[in-house]
Amino acid sequence: MTGPRYTKLVDSLPATVPFVGPEDQERNAGRPFAARLGANENGFGPSPRAIAAMAAAAGEVWKYGDSTSHDLRAALAAHHGVGIENVLVGEGIDGLLGYLCRLVIEPADAVVTSEGAYPTFNYHVAGFGGVLHKVPYKDDREDPQALIAKAAEVGAKLVYLSNPDNPMGTWHDRATVEAMIAAVPEGTLMVLDEAYVEFAPEGTEARIDADDPRVIRMRTFSKAHGMAGARVGYALGAPGLIAAFDKIRNHFGMCRISQAGALAALEDRTWQAYMRLLVAGARERIGEIAEANGLQALPSATNFVAIDCGADGDFARAVLRELGELGVFVRMPFIAPQDRCIRVSVGPETELEAFAEALPKALASARAGQSR
């Protein structure tokens, strides 16, 4: 008896996922984390209006969601001052990246990204047979000039930039991003991941014509709106590109509850302003905890902070392991030299205090391990 006959491409891929979730780690450890500060979730949660809207929509969950997400797309179009034909809603940025790769990537097509940048994008590229070409970070930031140069060199179908950046929390100003878009090679599409842009300083968000065929922008309700579990992302792009997604997307992928919650969250400007204050305060507190332990926190324009542990990746990994043993879930960059850091998401005061209590113990244990 034979099993499924997988494609040659699928047979060649490892059965892995980009991230091991905290739930898996809790099951393996046999206990819950005291502080969940590793997944760049927004621990302060969504707008009360969003919660109420989702609760109300739950009674109608027997219905499929609107396959076009019309009301949410219309609200997003008004919010950004673009046409509804410029807006696509999907299952988080992760889902949209997967659809985009399905649209444009064939086996052996070149794609450019940064070494150590968001691994889920790489996962989707590999899943459709694309060939990744990577450039290093420069001063803990993605290097727009190097990305464009590499895209021109290899004839890339896609070039990816996250601004602000994950995993470092650093950012480029709008002029730098706009110059990068102006330099996109013919035949290349720039993927501008703006998952964290609502937390960034004034002057970060690029001014881009929504009809510009050189770029597609990705946004999410997971971060600033505190709705990671609802899986709502959206893209802004030229009408022809947005319409092309209808050829391959899951038309009923967005449930009614998520659509209702996102629409209410978008309308609650007061909660959005309050959230920015909460996140800024939590970033400051994480910086204080780092400083109290003789470590340096990198400047951040996101809802997380990268903390330089002052040594190499092996030491930072030891710190990460020790924090996990102490019930604190954090993550870290994968690639040197960024892997000298751990990455700590913002969260409520109780969770940050658990981190503050655990960090000196984790550092001491990691240092003791190095001296053996």
Domain ranges (residues) in the chain: 8-45+270-371, 48-268
Fold match flag (8-45+270-371 vs 48-268):
no
Q: CA–CA separation, 133 vs 244, rounded Å? A: 26
**Cis status of the peptide bond prior to 337, with omega within 30 of 0:** yes
pLDDT at site 102 = 98
Architecture of the structural domain at 48-268:
3-Layer(aba) Sandwich (3.40)
Q: What's the DSSP call for residue 66?
A: P
Of 276, 185, 263, 181, which is closest to residue 224 (Cα–Cα)?
276
* Residue-level pLDDT at 371: 67
What does the pLDDT look like over 52-86, one tens digit per residue? 999 999 999 999 999 999 999 999 999 999 999 99
Q: What does DSSP say about strands 189-193 and 158-162: parallel, antiparallel, or unpaired?
A: parallel
Alpha-carbon gap, residue 137 to 139, rounded angstroms: 6
Cβ density class 315-349: b for 16+ within 10 Å, e for less: bbebbbebbbebbbbbbbbebeebbbbbbbbbbbe
pTM for the model stands at 0.96
User: pLDDT tens across 250-266, in order?
Assistant: 999 999 999 999 999 99
Alpha-carbon gap, residue 122 to 100, rounded angstroms: 12
Whether 254 and 68 have beta carbons less than 8 Å apart is answered as no
Q: Looking at residues 151-157, what average pLDDT do you find?
A: 98
Q: For position 19, what pLDDT does the model report?
A: 80
Q: Is 284 helix (H, G, I), strand (E, B) or coil?
A: helix
Report the alpha-carbon distance of residue 232 to residue 93 in Å, rounded. Answer: 8
C-beta separation of 342 from 334 below 8 A:
no
**pLDDT tens digits along 179-232:** 999 999 999 999 999 999 999 999 999 999 999 999 999 999 999 999 999 999
- Please determine, for residue 270, whether its predicted confidence score (pLDDT) is greater than 70: yes
Confidence of residue 370 (pLDDT cuts 50, 70, 90): confident
- Rounded Cα distance, 355 and 82, in Å: 42
pLDDT value at 16 more than 90 = no
For β-strands 328-329 and 35-36, DSSP reports them as: parallel
Residue 351 to residue 122: CA distance in whole angstroms? 31
Q: Which two tokens stand for residue 23?
A: 């739930």
Q: 4 is written with which tokens?
A: 């499924």
Task: Supply the CATH classification number for the domain 8-45+270-371.
Answer: 3.90.1150.10
User: What letter would DSSP give residue 186?
Assistant: T
Given phi > 0 = left and psi -120 to 50 = alpha, else beta, which region is 318? alpha
Are 278 and 285 a contacting pair, CB within 8 Å?
A: no
Comparison of pLDDT for 16 and 43, the residue scoring more: 43
Residue tagged 């550092």 (tokens)? 363
